[in-house]
Structure 1
Amino acid sequence: MAFPGTWLTESESIAYRVVPKCACSTIGQIMYYSDHGRYFDGDIHDSTSGLHKWNQEDSQPIIDRAVKSRKAVSFTCVRNPYSRILSSFFDKIAGIQRNGKRYRGNLIPQIVQRYGIEVGSPEDNFDFDQVASFRRFLLFARDTIRWRRPMEPDIHWSAMSGHIATFIVNGGRYDQIFFTEKFNEGMQKVLDAAETPVKVDVNAVPRFNESEGHGPKRAHKVSDYFDDLSRHLVWEIYKKDFQLFRYDFDDPDNKMPKGEVDLDEVHAKLGR
């Protein structure tokens, strides 16, 4: 069985199912540090050694064994769906990527043409109607997820429950699932449960936000971006995320979860 999107420390102490736009850069760097006593020099997504990743062929049997034997503490991290889809828009659609180019080459011109989205540019200081463009992007995201057109859904805006389910369906079990909004507390619990070669104090870890500073800043509060239609689309796409991870659908400005994750419920509902 496969464990796509899974990272494992070389000491096999911690296994992490990556969920894009949920602090994955910081988590990867913490895992790297917990083995090596230093952070990876660069974006952790670019590392090809020092951390086992499922997309590295040599790592696959090691990850498979560590996950199935329950040797590693297995976890993932989730985020409020409203904040997550907004972050995807500002980073991947309106932002410039680390390589100085737009995300996925011809994607942006395609959706500008088909959906009337505006994204601005560094030259005009990203001057565009953020609310109107985001709502049109949301329609595009829904189309990719519901009908897989005009393209397959992207990992950055497909539902968290979909990412998280593959780990369960293929024979893994999560020991912990914590919230990006309570990051330090949740990450520290994972580290405390694992026997890592290097101790990590999460409060001393810098934030590794690889999308920071490459695009426009959000100009409005979260709820301003979501009218009735937008919220209908968000529910259509992320209903399971709101329900399983206890986020507040009724108040987009309340980013905090309303309760803890019930691991048994997650495994029962996503393991089918």
Structure 2
Amino acid sequence: MGFPGTWMTESQSVVYRVVPKCACSTIGQIMHYSDHGRFFDGDIHDAKDGLHKWALDHSQAPILDTVTGHKAYAFTCVRNPYTRVLSSFFDKICGIQRNGRRYRGNLVPKLTYEYGIEVGGEDGKQEFDQIKSFRRFLLFVRDTIRFRRPMDPDIHWSSTSGHVSTFICNGGRYDKIIWTEKFNEGMQDVIDAIETPHVVDLAAVPRFNESEGHGPKRAHPVEDYFDDLSMHLIYEIYKRDFEVFKYDFENPGNKMPIGEIDLDEVHAKLGG
């Protein structure tokens, strides 16, 4: 199985397990800068050099050696399940992607036909009932995760704990898990714990939100999208995320964590 979704600096100063929709573009760019003194010109997900990635054949041996031997500081970044799944809906379902097309080709027409989801027209810019469409999208998300139909779950809405766990199950161990909601604070802890060829001034790092502008703007507060049924579905899908990463299930309007992450608990619960 190895370490899918794992990135490492070429200097092997730090290892990062990517979780989609959790500041991964910014983290990747910080890692690139820490080695090369400059940001990657473009979307860091497209970079084929300047950063070790498990998806690149030449990177697998050094990542495997470093992770299994715990020779470098390893971390990941997580996000509140309510805001993460909302972000996935507006970016991946309603939005036009970097290539000028809809995400995953025929996915949106399929959702329109089978679940009655609206996405704001051809360009994603027309008015539509965001709340109704999002709640129908949640049914689709539940179907992909619980029943693997009408397709396997997508990495952008499959559970954060699922992404985080593969690293543990295959022999890795995290030194730190940071929250997207307290990004600067958590990322500073990571930077302070490692030695890099170039100094990173976190205050001067721009936010590389590669999904911003893909889709329509969210028209309502987060909590308006979640009624009792939606919250039930969210708990069914993301129960472990709320538990181990200490988010507030009871209040969709509170995106902030409500406790400290216990790394021993994470390794015990997600390492089985």
Give the TM-score category using the shorter length: over 0.9
Letter in 1 for 2:106: N
SS in 1 for 2:16: strand
Matched, 1:230 2:255: no
* Mapping of residues 3-152 of structure 1, within 5 Å: 3-121=3-121, 125-152=125-152
User: How big is each residue's C-alpha offset from its partner over 1:1-43, in whole Å with a ceiling of 9 and x where there is no partner?
Assistant: 5000000000000100000000000000000000000000000
Distance 1:124 1:200, change over 3 A: closer
Aligned residue-pair number: 272
C-alpha contact (below 8 Å) 1:122/1:215 kept by paired residues: no
With the length of structure 1 as denominator, give the TM-score of the two structures: 0.98
| Alpha-carbon separation, structure 2, partners of 1:124 and 1:190 | 38
Contact 2:76 2:178 (8 Å CA) reproduced: yes
- The one-letter amino acid paired with 1:249 is F
1:263 counterpart residue number:
263
Distance (Å, rounded) in 2 between the aligned partners of 1:126 and 1:188:
40
Distance 2:8 2:146 in 1: 32
Query: Offset at 1:125?
Result: 2.5
Taking every aligned residue pair, what percent have the same amino acid on both sides?
72
Report the 3-state secondary structure (helix = DSSP H, G, I; strand = E; otherwise coil) of the residue aligned with 1:258: coil
Q: Which runs of 5+ in 2 are unaligned?
A: none
Q: Name the residue aligned to 2:199.
A: 199
Query: Contact (CA 8 Å) 1:73, 1:175: kept in 2 or not?
Result: yes
Q: Please provide the CA RMSD for this pair.
A: 0.9
Distance of 2:125 and 2:144 partners within structure 1? 29
Superposed CA deviations along residues 115-157 of structure 1, whole A, max 9, x for unmatched, are 0000013657231100000000000000000000000000000
Q: Which residue is equivalent to 1:215?
A: 215
CA distance in 2, matches of 1:123, 1:148: 29
Specify the code of the residue in structure 2 equivalent to 1:110.
K
Give 1:240's aligned residue.
Answer: 240
Question: Is the contact between residue 95 and residue 124 of structure 2 (CA under 8 Å) also seen in structure 1?
Answer: no
CA distance in 2, matches of 1:255, 1:226: 13
User: Where does residue 168 of structure 1 map in the other structure?
Assistant: 168
